[in-house]
Amino acid sequence: MARVYNFSAGPAVLPVEVLQEAADEMLDYRGSGMSVMEMSHRGKIFDGIIKEAEADLRELMQIPDNYKVLFLQGGAWTQFAAVPMNLMKNRKAAYIVTGQWAKKAWQEAGKYGEAVKVASSEDKTFSYIPDCSDLDIPEDADYVYICENNTIYGTKFHTLPNTKGKDLVADVSSCFLSEPVDVSKYAVIYGGVQKNIGPAGVVIAIIREDLITDDVLEGTPTMLKWKTQADNDSLFNTPPAYGIYICGKVFKWLRKQGGLEAIKANNEKKAKILYDYLDSSKLFRGTVRKEDRSLMNVPFVIGDKEMEARFVKEAEANGLVSLKGHRTVGGMRASIYNAMPIEGVEKLVAFMKEFEAANTAE
């Protein structure tokens, strides 16, 4: 078996134990004589799988009882539309634009109402999080929207914005379950699971119950109305059953690691190894303002395109793959999600040191 260290931003690395367990259960899930992929989503076995997944997620995140957990499809992108469709009662919302994903969500919301850009960090290629302590949030805004961890640029909100009492909606795709969160500070938390939780095809949305109503924008598709899904415990139509099953295994794995406090400590340890090196290197440098750095996505550059391309290629030959940066930032990006072992980060830094030594003249 030749596993590589996979630094992809998503779909991304999953815990080996989870993959192994899924492999062991592939042909015969616990005596059922079939794979989870082949069984009815209305049957007793799958009912147990989805209920247990939800219970484990609730336990991990300490989700209060007045929040619903939905397992949805359509990627985070579909929620860019579902959020305004379900929440824009006044047809107005405030968006904080801190990267491509926030920008896409803001543009999408503009199709359904007035999406007011109340802050942005685009002036410096989204390399920081703007001060959101006293924003000009419209009185009649239905919600304030953030992308909490900016996958492409490697920034994270370490303090939530002051929403001036408005409901906060957060896309947490790339920081989902990376550290403990106080769910009660949010109205809606959602994310595609293919970054930090499971296989592509599942979106998890955690929504405060009072926001799940029939009062949605006219023309909202049945499938995008949260109430449709909530009333049917995410089984209105055929759910992404196999993906949910894998997510459930990852939740168990996270609990076994000691829960989100322990995961956070581990993530901080991993990120520190990489950032400390970046801060001391004469060849590589991080692209993000220090206080806004993400624990999950770490972009860095050399500043010489030819040398960057060679670095990515040589790293790959050394079993360190998917380090090419997003096309809008260039350079490199190491995504070091929950399932990236510390050894992977150590090996990356050791390789970067070697590369630096070989490519800098004394």
Ligand X SMILES: *Cc1c(COP(=O)(O)O)cnc(C)c1O
Up-side HSE of residue 65: CA atoms within 13 Å toward CB? Answer: 0
Residues 6+ apart with CB under 8 A from 128: 121, 155, 288, 289, 292
d(CA 307, CA 329): 16
Query: Is 147 or 323 the residue whose CB approaches ligand X more closely?
Result: 147
Angle, CA of 328, 334 and 337, to the nearest 5°: 120
Scan residues 177-236 and list those touching ligand X (CB under 6 A). Answer: 192, 195
For position 299 contacting ligand X by CB under 6 A, the verdict is no
Q: Is 101 in the site for ligand X (CB under 6 A)?
A: yes
By C-beta, is 86 or 297 nearer to ligand X? 297
| Residue 28 annotated in active site | no
Q: 67-72 and 203-208 as β-strands: parallel, antiparallel, unpaired?
A: antiparallel
Among 174, 178, 229, 287, the residue binding ligand X under the rule CB under 6 A is 174
Both structure tokens of 259: 């829960």
CB closer to ligand X out of 194 and 281: 194
DSSP 8-state symbol, 323 = -
CB of 100 or CB of 266, closer to ligand X: 100
Which one among 127, 173, 228, 266 touches ligand X, defined by CB under 6 A? 173
Q: Does 243 bind ligand X (CB under 6 A)?
A: no
What is the per-residue binding string for ligand X in 45-74, x denoting contact by CB under 6 A?
------------------------------
Helix intervals (H) in 62-187: 75-87, 100-109
Neighbours of 2 (CB within 10 A): 4
- Residue 295 is given by DSSP the state S
Tokens of 198: 């499971």
11 contacts ligand X (rule: CB under 6 A): no
Among this protein's residues, is 226 annotated catalytic? Answer: no
44 labelled catalytic: no
Give me the phi and psi of 9, to 5 degrees please. Answer: -75, -20
Q: Exactly one of 156, 195, 249, 252 is catalytic; which is it?
A: 195
Q: Total binding residues for ligand X by CB under 6 A? A: 12
Judged by CB, which is closer to ligand X: 83, or 94? 83
Residue ranges that bind ligand X, judged by CB under 6 A: 10, 75-77, 101, 147, 151, 171, 173-174, 192, 195
Residues serving a catalytic function are 101, 171, 195
